[in-house]
Structure 1
Amino acid sequence: MPVINSIAAMEDEMRGWRHWLHRNPELGFDLPKTAAFVAERLREFGVDELHEGIARTGMVAIIEGRGEGPTIGLRADMDALPIDEATGAGHASETPGKMHACGHDGHMTMLLGAAKYLAETRNFAGRVALIFQPAEETAGGGRVMVEEGIMERFGITQVFGIHNAPAYAPGTIHTGPGPLLAAVDEFTIRVEGKGGHGAMPHETRDPVAALLGIGSAIQTIVSRNHRATDDLIVSITQIHAGAANNVIPADGVLSGTVRTFDPEVRGMVERRMGEIAAGCAAAYGVEATLRYDRGYPATVNDADRAAFAAEVARAVAGSENVDDDTLRVMGGEDFSYMLEARPGAYVFLGIGEAAPLHHPEYDFNDAVAPVGASFFARLVETAQPAT
């Protein structure tokens, strides 16, 4: 059961969809042209229901199978990134400052390809819910769709998604049980002291010295406060203080990101940051305030669904092209909210040699779209065989 012939025959049509989407990138929840394009294709395919305006510009399309059965969810994200494209491709972005640098144009294309095939064949029981989601890159559109009740409203019992992966050979599929992508948090520590002349530091309470001390101490969270075999990243990415070489400023700020997989480790990092900030503030005679913002949770695959996804992947791509125990990735993904709401699995689809994700020279590989579309379609047909 390799790539489905009728989907392979759609490759040129799918390329056309993808190139249109790539030329017309939109950001966040503000996706009027993207949503209209997707909705028009779904209506052409003859889906049974199309529910628009979920999470502003998201939508869920329903395709009925043959006979009674559950509803399986398939998800694609829709938004682009605020990046100036540098691919030089004939289908490059026509909107300065916006581009599909993460392959969401490819994700939509693969789900549309599966939708067209499933609407034509209906060789499954129950229903399939095609979830087109806005705002993955910024505001957690996946969370908003879950909060707006898509799982309950459409009776979704399990949910699956795909993300392209430039690091892997084209057409290969990679997944695994348990955490696959990290929880993504941000922190900001603001220090308030007393400024003064750089030649008279004894008359000040120097926030710069305190920021350096706090920054150094925070690094010990990774090296001294957690088990070495647990994945954890604490990265300070910004430090801001002062505007002149001969002036000690009155305040300053440092900020950064935390990546974890274990909720207990996540909690420990937040607690230790607060303790370090307070302790260093007392030592340096300043005031320190921690703001710790929890972002996307870890993307955690259900073990049984991950094994099932790998089984389907082997049927589509060949056993030699499937890794069912792939390495975890420290990036984040708001599909995590859907996996918290329903069991399911997320997989990576290799696209071969390409610029990395979020790079101005990145471009999706159209040749792998039939693989992803076939994988989506076979998930439905295998999970819910027609009676």
Structure 2
Amino acid sequence: MNNRLLSSLSAELEHELPAAVALRHRLHARPRVSGEEGETRDLVLAALPNGNDMAEVADTGAVVRIGGDGPAVALRAELDALAVAEATGVPWASERPGVMHACGHDVHLAAVVAVARTVARVGGPAPLLAVLQPREETYPSGARDITEDGVLEREACRAIVGAHVQPLLPVGTVSCTPGVVNASSDEFTVTVHGRGGHAAYPHLTRDPVVALAHVVVALQSLVSRGIDPMSSIALSVTTLEAGTAANVTPGVAVARGTIRAMRTADRETVHTRLAEVADMTARAHGCTAEVRFTRGEPVLDNDPRLAAATGALLTSLGLTASHELRSVGSDDFSFFSERLPALMMFVGTHGDGTQLHSPTFLPDDARVRDVAHALLAGYLAAAELTAAGNAAAPPATPEREVPVTVDNL
């Protein structure tokens, strides 16, 4: 890396930070939930340098090219807020009741703008694509829509970088772990059909509540007894629905939950075994079970070369590189990592507030600087690897997965 260029970009980025913090405040005060991010997108577009090519994408998103033609490096930031009532008490708190930037997306957006303005003013080793992504917090995924749109291919994007604030890490630390860092995320619904009737005559019914209760208990051992103990899987049943009256045995009982897997093979195994367990357990109680899966994000796989090169630059920018953070949380940035060499970093906020998605989660404004410097490091590393021909080849376009229905195996 050219030390003079690194120094110039870093110095200019410092000049951009006051405006970026002010933008963060405006975004935080005017949050929009998934699917309604048009106003947020427009605020960010107005803050980006003028005269750049912009393409609207995924309904309320946009991709902006900065720095001319040629192979580009993308920086992604999320536009959407959450349906959370803010309780921070800051003067720039959300003006919209029940909606809040409780996941740090306001920080990410402000940081991308700061880096984009810096590259536009100083110049960079590669064109930069600012990917303003909607619907990170819900389905259908905005990242999936962007990848399927083909805009990244049309823009000759060669790598993509993201950064997410993370209260599990100390301030000043950036995790740029190589390999899988986030799990796939799927939802399941188990519907048990029985025969309802009067609760005083249980022998005349086929009680789906009892059958479903046994399904839920059986699922608790599915991972511990059906998956390699060295694998990371989380299976949680989170909702139960059945009945309307205390003296009536219902005809149907429903359970829903989530599956997180750090390996694609384990993801498929759990789907198959869950359907089998539900079906056979329900049959043992004289009922039948229908299992439906809604597939969400795939595993998020960081490119090892990009992670290593970025880690080397983070130190030069005054941050501490760490390779320790992996979790069975999920992020639809993983759809990008299926298509391109990709890097998702986690930027420490420990001491700035409570956990993500909390009504009091409010990273300090100084974290805009940390996220911006992390993104700058990732951009420079990706540009250098692309120019040298060392970046990993983009993965083959994945076949789209379809929801699976398993009825009465």
TM-score under structure 2 normalisation? 0.89
| Bigger shift: residues 204-213 or 246-255 | 246-255
Q: How does 1:235-384 map to 2 (within 5 A)?
A: 235-318=236-319, 321-323=320-322, 325-353=323-351, 354-384=353-383
Taking structure 1 as reference, are residues 239 and 224 closer, same or farther at Cα in structure 2, changes over 3 Å only?
same
Distance 1:245 1:379 in 2: 59
1:61 aligned to 2:64?
A: yes
- Report the 3-state secondary structure (helix = DSSP H, G, I; strand = E; otherwise coil) of the residue aligned with 2:278: helix
- Residue identity opposite 1:348 in structure 2: F
Distance 1:310 1:47 in 2: 33
The Cα of 1:373 is off from its aligned counterpart by 1.5
What is the match of residue 127 of structure 2?
Answer: 127
What is the match of residue 229 of structure 2?
Answer: 228
* Equivalent pair of 2:212/2:282 in contact (CA under 8 Å): no
Deviations 1:182-212 (A, max 9, x none): 1011011011111122221101100011001
Deviations 1:110-143 (A, max 9, x none): 000001111100032x311111111100021000
The Cα of 1:335 is off from its aligned counterpart by 0.4
- Residue identity opposite 2:65 in structure 1: I
Deviations 1:328-354 (A, max 9, x none): 111110100011110121100112221
Uncovered stretches (5+) of structure 2, i.e. residues with no partner: 1-5, 389-409
Distance 1:135 1:382 in 2: 28
Deviations 1:256-293 (A, max 9, x none): 00000111100111101111111012101112100111
- Residue identity opposite 2:355 in structure 1: P
* Equivalent pair of 1:47/1:62 in contact (CA under 8 Å): no
Q: Give the number of aligned pairs.
A: 378
* Equivalent pair of 1:172/1:317 in contact (CA under 8 Å): no
What is the match of residue 151 of structure 1?
Answer: 152
Distance 1:176 1:168 in 2: 13
- Report the 3-state secondary structure (helix = DSSP H, G, I; strand = E; otherwise coil) of the residue aligned with 2:168: coil
Distance 2:26 2:84 in 1: 18
- Percent of aligned pairs with the same amino acid: 35
1:71 aligned to 2:72?
A: yes
Distance 1:382 1:165 in 2: 22
What is the match of residue 178 of structure 1?
Answer: 179
- Report the 3-state secondary structure (helix = DSSP H, G, I; strand = E; otherwise coil) of the residue aligned with 1:108: helix
* Equivalent pair of 1:195/1:205 in contact (CA under 8 Å): yes
Deviations 1:349-382 (A, max 9, x none): 1122211111111112210212221232343345
Q: How does 1:203-222 map to 2 (within 5 A)?
A: 203-222=204-223
RMSD: 1.8
Distance 1:123 1:281 in 2: 61
Distance 2:176 2:379 in 1: 18
- Residue identity opposite 2:132 in structure 1: F
Q: Detail structure 1 runs of 4+ shifted over 3 Å in the superposition.
A: 378-387
* Equivalent pair of 1:69/1:384 in contact (CA under 8 Å): no
Taking structure 1 as reference, are residues 130 and 47 closer, same or farther at Cα in structure 2, changes over 3 Å only?
farther
* Equivalent pair of 1:31/1:57 in contact (CA under 8 Å): yes
TM-score under structure 1 normalisation? 0.93
What is the match of residue 49 of structure 1?
Answer: 53
Distance 1:267 1:352 in 2: 35
The Cα of 1:33 is off from its aligned counterpart by 1.2
Distance 1:254 1:350 in 2: 36
Distance 1:226 1:330 in 2: 15
Deviations 1:218-238 (A, max 9, x none): 111111001111100110001
Distance 1:310 1:304 in 2: 10
1:39 aligned to 2:45?
A: yes
